[in-house]
Each structure stands twice: as C-alpha cells, then as structure tokens.
Amino acid sequence: MSIVPFDDRDGWIWFDGQFTPWREAKVHVLTHGLHYASAVFEGERMYGGEIYELTAHTERLFKSAEMLDFEIPYTVAEIDEACKQTCAKNGLDDCYVRPIAWRGTEMMAVSAQDTKIHVAIAVWPWPSYFDPEEKARGVRLAWAKYKRPSPETEPVHAKATGLYMICTVSKHAAERDGYADAMMLDWRGYIAESTGANVFFVRDGALHTPTPDCFLNGITRQSVIRLAKSRGIEIVERHIHPDELPSFSECFIVGTAAEVTPVASIGEHRFTPGQISLSLMDEYARMVRRQTTVAA
C-alpha cells in the first residue's frame, strides 16, 4: 500500500492564527518542542459537520499546556472556532482534528522560559482505527513492555507528546508480533490502558474500569460511562490486577480514534465480544453522529 506522507498533502493548516498551505506549514529543526517534548496536543473527531465534545477537548489542551508550564496565546473559544474553520477550509465534515501547541526556537536548552508558544490545527479524513472486520470480532492485544509511570515522576494527566514515546514503542512491538495493540500496566502492576485508549471489562453485567490516577481520564471514556449509566449499567471504577482477567467475560477499549472497540484477547486471556460491548459500540456510534449529550 502506498503511503502519502503527512508533509506532502493538499489542504490548509491553521498555524498561529492564519491558514497556511499544507506543504508550507513547517517548523525549524531547532524547535524546543522537537528536542525536549515541550508540546501538548488533542485528538478529536468531526462527525457530520460537528466536532464531538470540542470544548472539552480544547479545555484539556489548555490544562495540558498549564501542566507543562506554558500558556497558549489564544482563548478556548478562539481555538474552538479555529478547529471548526479548519474543517470547513478543507471541505471536510467527517474527519480527525489535531490541535497541537509547542515551544518554539528562541531557546535551545532545558530551561526555555522565553520561547514563543505556537499553535497549529490540522484535519484529515480518518477511517476506522482498526480493521473493520477485526474490530467486529474483537482485536488482539499483547502485553506492553513499558508501564505507565507514577504521577510523582511526570505530568501523567497532560496529553503531552513525550508521554506517548512508550506507547509508540509498545504498539510497534505488538504489531510486529501480529497483534493490533498492547495493554499497559501501571507502575504498581495494575491494568492501566492500551497505547491510546482506555479499557473496560464486563463481569456479571457490570462494567469494571481502572481508576485513571496515572493516565488520562479520556473524554471518550467519560462519554461511555455516561452512556452505560443511562442504560442502568453499574460502573465499578477501581484498581484491577492482571490476575483478575479470567473472571471477566467481555473487554473493550475506548478512545477518540478507537471509538468503542471490542477486545478478543489480552495476551493469554480470552474474551468474547458480547451484548454489552457490542451494544455500547453501536450506541456510541449513533450518539456521536447525532451529537447529543447523554445525561449523567
């Protein structure tokens, strides 16, 4: 399959307040964000002309920047509007939306308090994150080599670029071994999340999900919890040890890219996509397309 590089595409990118032709949206090789991971980003989806939970994503972008000790030089409302305009400028009403903010070139050292903060927004068509046929029967996950770190070691609740380094390494290793993704433990040995999505398990009709105390409490995760509660499904949020996996009947992962994806296996543990995971997959897909907020 031919791959079209992301720097060689048609379209427009919102860059520091104005639209720039896609191929001209560039940064210098001595950008602080490239060398020191001083960058935060969001992953959003537009469905039928509306970006799902847009303001929640933008607010998280600003909180992430605050955790990395820099201030985005726009308001939440301005970034919301820029995201919408970028989709319109590119003629897209179903797409992935990627806002990113980073430190610039003014200083090239660990200390970079006088760097300019840049913001860009790119959008592009995005099909299913996993193969549709594989998704329907459940994806297979390996165990990740690396663990989600303690909150005492890094800003684990920021959606920061540097925190995804171990995710890329783990997903690459899983794909080389024929898996779709990898499941990560936290530094204590509890189940955490996959490389880019939160996880839920089913036991006796209730949903069990790890407490997000060292990883992102994903916006899709929050939406699925609201959706499940509206159906009367019990939510049990707690630490989950890998030894408990044989006691769960179903498993699924959730995220902006993954949406709701059933899981067939995690390492040696098997699950059968069933009524709860498959119905939530379908209901979430309907919900985001009708852009309604499920009551808490």
Residues involved in catalysis: 159
Amino acid type, 191: I
In whole angstroms, give the CA distance from residue 82 to residue 88.
10
In whole angstroms, give the CA distance from residue 246 to residue 272.
12
Phi, psi dihedral angles at 177 (to 5 degrees): -95, 10
From its phi and psi, is residue 272 left (phi > 0), alpha (psi between -120 and 50) or beta?
beta
In whole angstroms, give the CA distance from residue 36 to residue 160.
11
As a 3-state breakdown, the chain gives helix, strand, coil percent values, each rounded to 5, of 30, 30, 40
| Sequence-ordered alpha helix ranges (H) in 107-247 | 132-137, 165-176, 219-230
Judge contact between 185 and 249, C-beta under 8 A.
Answer: no
Going by C-beta distance under 8 Å and a sequence separation of 6 or more, which residues neighbour residue 37?
Answer: 160, 161, 162, 165
Query: How many CB atoms are closer than 10 A to CB 178?
Result: 8
